[in-house]
Amino acid sequence: MSTSQLFRRRQSAHDGIRRKTVRWIASPLESSSKTSGEYALSSGVDHKPAEETDNQSISDRSSLSDDELPHFRHDHESSKIELFYDLFLVANLTSFTTDHEIINGQSLRNYVGFFAIVWFTWLETSLFDVRFAADSVFTRICKAIAFAAMTGIAACGANYNTGDVSEHLRTFRSLSIILMCSRLALAIQYIVVLLYVRKYPRTRVPLLSTIATLFLSAMAFLGTFFAFNLNDESTEPDRSTSHSGGPPVYISHYIIVCVEAIGVITISCIWRSISFKKTHLVERIGLLTLIIMGEGIIGITRSISKVLQNSVNTSGSVFGITISAVLLLYFVWILYFDQIDHDRFGTIRQQVWAILHFPLHTALILVSEGNATLILWKVIMRYLLEAVRVESVATHDMANSTNDEVVEYLQEKLETFTHHFKHETLYRLGVENFVNDSLSDIRQISANDSSGRDEYIGEIRDSMFDLVFAAFGIEVDEGDATWEPQLGIFWTVLYYYYIAAGVFAVLLAVLYWFGKTKKSREEWVSIVLRLVVGIGLCTTTAALLLSDTPSTSGFILSAWTVTVIMLAYFVIIILDNLLDAYANHNSARRRSSYVDTNRRARDEQVALAKATKADVTAQGESIKLRLLEASAVEQADRQTTEDPQSSRSFSTQDASKSNAVLPKTE
């Protein structure tokens, strides 16, 4: 076989068909040549809108009268480019969570603030995409700007620290410019939409208002750029505040993104011509919820990896708390998606429902992070308690023992303690050399110098603390590797974990109310159930703060810290299903009663009709009988008058004939 034959191009039915080229700019309106509901694949993106005509320009787009509203083409599912944009949000969350662990109130505020900037930036882009996005070169360029903005925000996130703004002024100034550029790009996209629908008067005011809102927010971000003054870098450390001594400048970022989002949502609520009706906004918000749940799963696996990489032996309680954490996220998925009913969303309710997801997602991401952190701290607290017990025995129980006896005890316990960790970790931290030196120093101490011996024992305990924290990646300051400061980290995690879990349940109740119109009695009970559980979980935090009993301490150090929330959510799911079963049973019973009533009514109507027919027949027969009798009497009277002799015989014969002719009646 020759080379030309081997690579010969075969003819096929698809010869001459090429991929459709992407237009430079595309209209957000439906094509006038196609009916609504008829869709075709757009080129390069997994949209399913009506295919627009190739030779249609902006000036020829509107053929309807000025009194009619434009028909925007809406996708029924997220496009591939929207899903690709979501990946940048995932990257932001993952990188920021890795670089900024929540260890105190300041880091918690820092985390929530950065999440607000990322979330509202994603929301503004999605609010445009679900209503007006159409595949074109211009749209892809704008998407590239959105990708660059998300990448820039992620880069700023590495040094985003609201607790020390003076050291990262360039980061905050760069963030201001990035946010400004992203809003200007969105404003330009809205301007293009306005050009296409300029012949529809009802869309001019809302689109112009949206453009003005985005432009004003962009200028506000530009103002924050100058508010972070680089000339002050070498002066006072507290340069995060404004020159007038007011609140910190970075807070303006949070205010701007919130006001901007509320403004855009309010405009779409007032002017229904650009509302989110028949869009896939609910699906977009649901996908973002899944992404945040996925971030929680990543956190769980990260914690498990740290435990398995640095620890040799793991207790059953660690596996128990891990299973509870996974089940908790699964129950969150059930609670959230089972209560969404697409057919019962109102136009305005849908938009309020969407923006309420910011506090919901904030609570969800804190629950997810608390899940992962408590798995790690379960192991850490186990080792810290063991170190404290070793110190307590060596210091108090063996106070009258000799130095050699104390050293022998410490050697035995330290050998057992170090066996919990891998040799690579011990070698990397140099724990063995430090412990051996401390034990040698204890031997050389005078027998009467109990305070000196206790000091060395305390140093050994501190080295055990150092080993635990360093092995599991917990950052500690030099000289602060003691029980109290690190316990503060654990308490911080525990507090925000329970508060976030309670707030999440309360917000589920609020979203349940917004997401369903004409609620049944059972649905109201479900709303109240979520409120009760949410308030109960928040109250648990207050109980942990006020209570200082052995039972409380035992609960805090056990795997029940995660299991309690998991069981609380599980109770909601069980009761929800019981309420649904009860409602369905009542509905079926009402339908059955209705069918039985209708059947009885039909039977009664049929019986009445039959009875009426029988009565009519009987009345007819009676009339007929009376007529025949009257006729016979009349004929007999005539014959009697004509022939009295034969009247008696005629009457007898006529009576017999009449008895033979007339039917028998009962």
Helices 483-515 & 105-132 angle (0-180, nearest 10): 30
106 CB contacts (<8 Å, ≥6 apart)? 162, 163
For residues 343, 347, 352, 356, the Cα torsion angle rounded to the nearest 10 degrees is: 30
Which of 409, 377, 351, 421 shows the shortest CA–CA distance to 206?
A: 351
For residues 135 and 26, the answer to whether their CB atoms sit within 8 Å is: yes
For residues 29 and 73, the answer to whether their CB atoms sit within 8 Å is: yes
DSSP state of 399: T
295, pLDDT greater than 50? yes
Burial label for 564, CB within 10 Å (0-12, 13-18, 19+), is middle
Q: What mean pLDDT do residues 168-173 have?
A: 90
436, pLDDT greater than 80? no
∠ CA 342-87-288 to the nearest 5 degrees? 25
Query: % helix / strand / coil in the chain, to the nearest 5?
Result: 75, 0, 25
Which residue shows structure tokens 């050009």?
195
∠ CA 520-522-527 to the nearest 5 degrees? 95
For residues 63 and 108, the answer to whether their CB atoms sit within 8 Å is: no
63, pLDDT greater than 60? no
Query: How confident is the model over 465-514, as pLDDT tens digits?
Result: 878 887 787 766 555 545 566 677 888 888 899 999 999 999 999 998 88
For residues 183 and 221, the answer to whether their CB atoms sit within 8 Å is: yes
Q: What mean pLDDT do residues 322-327 have?
A: 93
Which of 626, 651, 627 shows the shortest CA–CA distance to 639?
A: 651
pLDDT of residue 53: 38
Distance spanning both ends of the chain, measured CA to CA? 107
DSSP string, 597-637: HHHHHHHHHHHHHHHHHHHHHHHHHHHHHHHHHHHHHHHHH
For residues 490 and 377, the answer to whether their CB atoms sit within 8 Å is: yes
117, pLDDT greater than 90? yes
DSSP state of 237: S
Burial label for 479, CB within 10 Å (0-12, 13-18, 19+), is exposed
Query: How confident is the model over 577-623, as pLDDT tens digits?
Result: 998 888 887 777 777 766 667 777 777 777 777 777 776 677 777 77
CB burial string 418-440: b at 16+ within 10 A, e below: bebbbeebbeebebeebbeebbe
Token digits of residue 115: 């999440």
What average pLDDT does the chain have? Answer: 78
For residues 245 and 186, the answer to whether their CB atoms sit within 8 Å is: no
Q: What is the percentage of the chain residues whose pLDDT exceeds 90? A: 30
61, pLDDT greater than 50? no
CB burial string 238-268: b at 16+ within 10 A, e below: ebbeeeeeeebbbbbbeebbeebbebbbbbb
Using H for helix, E for strand and C for coil, what is the string for 189-234?
Answer: HHHHHHHHCCCCHHHHHHHHHHHHHHHHHHHHHHHHHHHCCHHHCC
Residue 152: its H or E element? helix 137-157
Rounded CA-CA distance 67/519 in Å is 36
Rounded CA-CA distance 155/590 in Å is 61
Query: How confident is the model over 223-239, as pLDDT tens digits?
Result: 999 988 754 444 444 44
DSSP state of 394: I
pLDDT of residue 555: 78
Q: CB neighbours (10 Å) of residue 137?
A: 13
Instruction: Parse the chain into domains and list their residue ranges.
Output: 75-279, 403-484
Rounded CA-CA distance 242/229 in Å is 10
Q: What mean pLDDT do residues 241-266 have?
A: 80
40, pLDDT greater than 50? no
pLDDT of residue 144: 94
Reported confidence tier of residue 146, pLDDT bands at 50, 70, 90:
very high
For residues 506 and 531, the answer to whether their CB atoms sit within 8 Å is: yes
User: Which amino acid is residue 487, in one-letter code?
Assistant: L
Which pTM value belongs to this model?
0.78
CB burial string 104-132: b at 16+ within 10 A, e below: eeebbebbbebbbbbbbbbbbbbbbbbbb
Residue 456: its H or E element? helix 450-471
∠ CA 372-321-95 to the nearest 5 degrees? 10
Reported confidence tier of residue 22, pLDDT bands at 50, 70, 90:
confident
